[in-house]
Chains A and B, each alone.
Chain A
Amino acid sequence: MSNITIDRKTCSDDEDLKYVLLCQGGDTEAFAVLVERHQKKMLNIALRMVGNYEDACDVTQEAFVAAYKAIRKFKGEAKFSTWLYRIVINHSKNRLKKLRGFAASEDILSDDSGEGGKKYTGNHIQADDHPGLLLEKRERDEQVQKCITSLDDDYREVLVLRDIEGFSYEEIREMLKIPDGTVKSRLSRARNALKDCLAKIMGDL
């Protein structure tokens, strides 16, 4: 008994829907497929949002479990992935609130330790062929992440979704439930802020 009205969707969405339907029907193991298909994306969104790998792993797991618990609420009005990523974004923001509760807010430009005292560890970057370059890249990535972490939540999320994860404006609107104009103005401010931050800590870009 499906509560989804199936629209014309892309191939991959149809694939997702198949397992979502199974899950809604009580097949728990069908969820494993959905996890596998989306875990990398979910983790990366979480990572860019919370700023460190450990918390990102926690958040992503929480988000998946929450998605499972709520799977019957998915009605197929949007893509399953959009629905799913929205959950991880919300959980990321909640985690940020918690983290900020523990640590005094740190000015990224004066303090090296980053969000909540946890460092973004670059150990999970996909291997490059050139170790020297890899190290340099890792360091650079860390600095970029620090600056991203220093942005306001609202700016950060549009920047992560658009400039890092590459979602379309339509998808971003769906995920964040904000109008198009808001997406654009926030993105604009986010990019400016990021540019200013990077220019300060990296010198001339």
Chain B
Amino acid sequence: MRKCKNFKNSLPLYLDDLLSPGEKRSLEEHLQTCLKCKKDLIQLNKTRVLTSNLEEVKPPPWFQQRIMSRVREEAGKKSDEPKWFYPLRIKVPLQITATVVIAVLAVYIYRAGEDRIKDVVPAAQVPSVEIKKEQVSEQRNEAARPDHYPENVRAMKQKTMPYENAGGRMTGEARDANKVLSEAKTDRLEAEAKKSVESNDAFKERKKEVYAPAPAAKAGASSLSQSAALSGNVLRMKVARVNPAAEDIKTMLTKYSAQNISEEASPDRFILRAWLPDRNMEDFIKQLRTVGRVEEVRGVTGSSHGERILVTVEIVGE
């Protein structure tokens, strides 16, 4: 019957007495004559009984404990939450920043130490030539070790070039700086980890210190020995003709598995630097004597342990 449809949604509510008096009366009238709706009502009633009689289940015995152990975990997490701080007004987790700072500094300090060894020998004349050579050797080394350092360090290296060439610092400072570097390396790293990351400018300042550009120190003819005090062996040679001798010595260096050979030419001398395996040092020096007179041999002892030593050969004409 048409009317049944109208009452379909009223029937369920009739049980709860949720109908208005008018709706209720209307429905009851209909029920008197409609068998289908009467049957539906009875079935609704039974359904209601079934649902209300559904048994309540019990939680398992470990239930509360398990919940509380998770809750306690959460409580623990809350107190351990890493603090945020704001380098450069960017929200960055402390731990990540500290790790990044340490990693970057470690790489940078290593590089800086290495680079200082390639410092240009201060010569009175032609600073520009030296600078050029320096840059050339730098680039060569960059090319030689393209994958050695991460992008940001290489970028840093580019940035530090200007400082290199700016000049004005005495090699004495370089020496001190290097000492500070090698001795206090760990201290510095620890200190760095505690401090917040500086702004870009401050960071450059720091690099200036650390890097302590020595190469461009041109004051007088500061001797090789000063910069050489940094590390490694220094050999001064007197030869008849500088350039062929330099070629021979270069060949020799290669023969003795030297690495990172760099050279600097100036009107009156030629300087070769390379990292030579410690075990070959003696033989190499012997060979040098066949090329010319080996005048000075100055070295820092105790730096070998099967490692490479920096050797600097200064070739001077008779």
Interface residues of A, Cβ cutoff 8 Å to B: 28-29, 31-32, 35-36, 39-40, 43-44, 47-48, 53, 56-57, 60-61, 64-65, 68-69, 122, 124-126, 137, 140-141, 144-145, 148, 159, 163-164, 166, 184-185, 187-189, 191-192, 194-195, 198-199, 205
Q: Which residues of B contact A61 (CB under 8 A)?
A: 63, 66-67, 70
In the bound assembly, the distance between CA atoms of A162 and B66 in angstroms comes to: 29
> Is the CB–CB distance between A192 and B9 below 8 Å?
yes
> Is the CB–CB distance between B56 and A126 below 8 Å?
yes
> Is the CB–CB distance between A191 and B50 below 8 Å?
no
Given contacts A40-B56, A163-B48, A163-B51, 16 further A-B contacts (CB under 8 A): A28-B71, A28-B75, A32-B68, A35-B67, A39-B64, A43-B57, A43-B63, A44-B56, A61-B66, A65-B71, A124-B57, A137-B55, A187-B12, A191-B12, A198-B43, A205-B46
Q: Which residues of A contact B59 (CB under 8 A)?
A: 39-40, 43, 57, 60
Q: Which of B8, B9, B54, B72 contacts A28 (CB 8 A)?
A: B72
Q: Which residues of B contact A68 (CB under 8 A)?
A: 71, 74-75
A36 to chain B, nearest CB (A): 6
In the bound assembly, the distance between CA atoms of A73 and B220 in angstroms comes to: 75
Q: Which residues of A contact B13 (CB under 8 A)?
A: 184, 187-188
Q: Which residues of A contact B6 (CB under 8 A)?
A: none
B18 closest partner in A (C-beta) = A184
Interface of A, secondary structure class, is: helix
> Is the CB–CB distance between B74 and A36 below 8 Å?
no
Sample 6 A-B pairs with CB under 8 A, ordered by A number: A39-B67, A43-B57, A64-B67, A195-B44, A199-B43, A205-B43
Q: Is B52 positioned at the interface, with any CB of A under 8 Å from its CB? A: yes
